[in-house]
Structure 1
Amino acid sequence: MRRLTRQGDGRRLTHAEINRIRQTRGATALLFITDRCPVGCAHCSVDSRPDSPRITDFALFEQIVDQLCADPERTMIGISGGEPFVERRGLTLAARRIADAGKELVVYTSGVWGAAVDPPAWIHEVLDHCACVYLSTDAYHEAGTGPERFIGAARVIAGHGLPIVVQVVDQDGGPARAEELLRAAFGSDWPQYAELVPTQGLPHGRGAELFERAARVPGRRLGACELVISPVVRYDGRVTACCNETVLMGGGPAALRRDCTSGAEVGEAVAGFQRDPLYRAIGTVGGGALTQHPRFRELADRQFGDICGLCWAMTKRVVPAEDNPLLRAIELVGGGARE
């Protein structure tokens, strides 16, 4: 496949490099740019629909983007949704400013925009600012977009010299089908263009009807949560301590989210979650180790489906923003923050 002559702004990131950055506290944030998506996948973990909410307060949205860009700790910003490419104005603004601020940009998309051989110039501009694009496909995506759009989007992304990470739910032959599509796009040398990353379906949103929750285990057996060190910021000012979809959509403990009305408040919320001793400890020594804490001891033998359930139970037992010396001591004894 002949590459296009377009050149991006910065270095290219692989899936492994992105994970390494995400595991460094304070280095990343995810901008959830819209609830809206035209695909209608049956397994959508955030229940996105064609008529879901989207950006309406652009003044606030600009403040949010500028706050993320001004944060000296953040070196990489992800943009997801919904489908980010339904937000032309918001996505082009965010991509341009994030790149201008010297941050690495990673966009997550279904490739629904890939019907045209040569998409509109604004899509090329967004891709020019990216360091990597996550392109999702599986039986649920394909039912809504068709294989042609995935193949078209993959070719356009590769034409910008960008690494493609194809995320696919690992069930019913999903990875094998994704490989077929990549071969159709690039031929037998498709691994030069894309990484194939099998994932597990999430039992959130519409996915709650399709995917079983993990087997329940005692709280003491649960480890660290690598996601609690990377906050999510939604287009309307909601900030969450992690990427749990239920929390972002208003479920779970209220202490795990903040609803902000300005960029400054967003910055304060992000910094507050980063400082929080409970979430710092859950992200380092892990929830299981914290069941040694007197306040959490009765959770050691309680059954949980995942670290989120244990985190929620612990959150309900801690006063918001409580600076507990014992929590900090546990974190330090267990190895401290990954920084």
Structure 2
Amino acid sequence: MRRLSFADLEEGRERRGTLALLFITDRCPVGCGHCSVDSRPDSPRITDFALFEEVVEGLCALPDARVVGISGGEPFIERRGLTYASRRITEAGKDLILYTSGFWGPAGTDGAPGTAGADGGGARLAPEWARAVLRRASTVYLSTDAYHEESVHEHRFAAAARAVAAEDVWLVVQVMNEPRMVERAGELLRAAFGPDWASHAEVATAPPLPYGRAGSLDSHLFRRERPRYPAESFGKCQTANVPVIRYDGTTTMCCNEMVITGAGPARLRRRCTTREEVTAALGGFTRDSLYRAIGTVGPGLVTAHPRYQDLAGREFASVCELCWVMAKRAPEDARDNLIDAIRVLGEERVG
């Protein structure tokens, strides 16, 4: 099994169609105040396992998707679904990426880590089913910051980190792009592994997203007022290169969590009930002329198309806002020769 770094995965996002994401549940027991999808302990989860198996099999049949991520919600709350999906994805020869809060990290009854030992501290106390899932992964993304620590104690975080390392899986600790939170992540990793923590893990940052519960936070990090830029200035959007399938058969053309939970134009989603429909929908998103251009050269260049020329000078707060306007105007036919030509010329110019 390969150990994939953050840089490896970012590079993969550049290669359209090589990554895909399984959104396995809306449910999460952690309840972070900054959750961008408002996942809760009572949010929807897998109920139709026959449909879920079709979803997974359709995802596994994607010929070009070499790396598949599993996110939510909190994937480890779905023991049956996560066990099945992780096994089938790796049996299909794909690298598996797991995104988790680490709430399942083993801890003693007093909140301290499990008994230390040669197997990586409290790792031996992790549930065996969870360890089996972890050892199938190439990378685990473990989130932490001030909001996570309100629910996931530092000892539990450390135990989860050691459990990942005990299975010889690379750990990416993801935090919000804020200096004190990055510093805190380093402190937690030193507590878990000692001074050589960089041989087990790395720290990666992500921008705060002012959506879901985070939209109501009174914090400068999540302010909704953002600068606006003309459409013609927007570059490529890597999220458009990663199609998503939800546990209920909803497929989306990108990994924007708002889209998978119902926001944005209907053209961004398809509803599937069989594995064949899943494979066709996800593959269709990858080949769609508009989304392919957005993911490789950016919507700014697409404003040269007569359908979108009037947008060139209009200002937008995000690439998502612009993409949604374009999607509403796009015909259902996924192929557009002129957009394809604009993309090819753009790729040649950049290359």
TM-score (norm. length: structure 2): 0.91
State whether structure 2 residue 178 is matched by structure 1 residue 180: no
| Distance in 1 separating the partners of 2:6 and 2:24 | 21
Per the alignment, residue 82 of structure 2 pairs with 91
Per the alignment, residue 72 of structure 2 pairs with 81
Task: Kindly indicate whether the alpha-carbon contact (under 8 Å) linking 2:140 and 2:164 is maintained by their aligned counterparts in 1.
Answer: yes
Per the alignment, residue 96 of structure 2 pairs with 105
Per the alignment, residue 212 of structure 1 pairs with 223
Q: What number of residue pairs does the alignment pair up?
A: 328
Q: SS at 2:36's partner residue?
A: coil
State whether structure 2 residue 240 is matched by structure 1 residue 228: yes
Q: How does 1:228-267 map to 2 (within 5 A)?
A: 228-267=240-279
Per the alignment, residue 71 of structure 1 pairs with 62
Task: Kindly indicate whether the alpha-carbon contact (under 8 Å) linking 2:287 and 2:334 is maintained by their aligned counterparts in 1.
Answer: no
Q: How does 1:1-339 map to 2 (within 5 A)?
A: 10-116=1-107, 117=122, 118-171=125-178, 173-210=180-217, 211-213=222-224, 214-335=226-347
| Distance in 2 separating the partners of 1:19 and 1:323 | 27
The unaligned stretches of length 5 or more in structure 1 are 1-9
What letter is aligned with 2:78?
A: E
TM-score (norm. length: structure 1): 0.94
| Distance in 1 separating the partners of 2:106 and 2:22 | 25
Q: SS at 2:308's partner residue?
A: helix
| Distance in 2 separating the partners of 1:259 and 1:94 | 19
Q: Which runs of 4+ in 1 moved over 3 A?
A: none
Task: Kindly indicate whether the alpha-carbon contact (under 8 Å) linking 1:24 and 1:229 is maintained by their aligned counterparts in 2.
Answer: yes
Q: SS at 1:334's partner residue?
A: helix
Task: Kindly indicate whether the alpha-carbon contact (under 8 Å) linking 1:133 and 1:162 is maintained by their aligned counterparts in 2.
Answer: yes
| Distance in 2 separating the partners of 1:132 and 1:302 | 40
Q: SS at 1:37's partner residue?
A: coil
| Distance in 1 separating the partners of 2:47 and 2:334 | 35
| Distance in 2 separating the partners of 1:261 and 1:232 | 15
Which range moved further: 54-63 or 322-331? 322-331
The unaligned stretches of length 5 or more in structure 2 are 108-121
Partner deviation per Cα, 1:15-73 (whole Å, 9 max, x = no partner): 11111122211111100000000000011111100000000010111111111112221
Question: What is the root-mean-square deviation in Å for CA atoms of aligned residues?
Answer: 1.4
Deviation for aligned residue 1:172: 6.7
| Distance in 1 separating the partners of 2:300 and 2:40 | 37
| Distance in 1 separating the partners of 2:333 and 2:288 | 6
Which range moved further: 258-267 or 308-317? 258-267
| Distance in 2 separating the partners of 1:218 and 1:11 | 41
| Distance in 2 separating the partners of 1:161 and 1:152 | 15
| Distance in 2 separating the partners of 1:305 and 1:241 | 20
Identity %: 55
Task: Kindly indicate whether the alpha-carbon contact (under 8 Å) linking 2:52 and 2:248 is maintained by their aligned counterparts in 1.
Answer: yes
| Distance in 2 separating the partners of 1:46 and 1:110 | 14
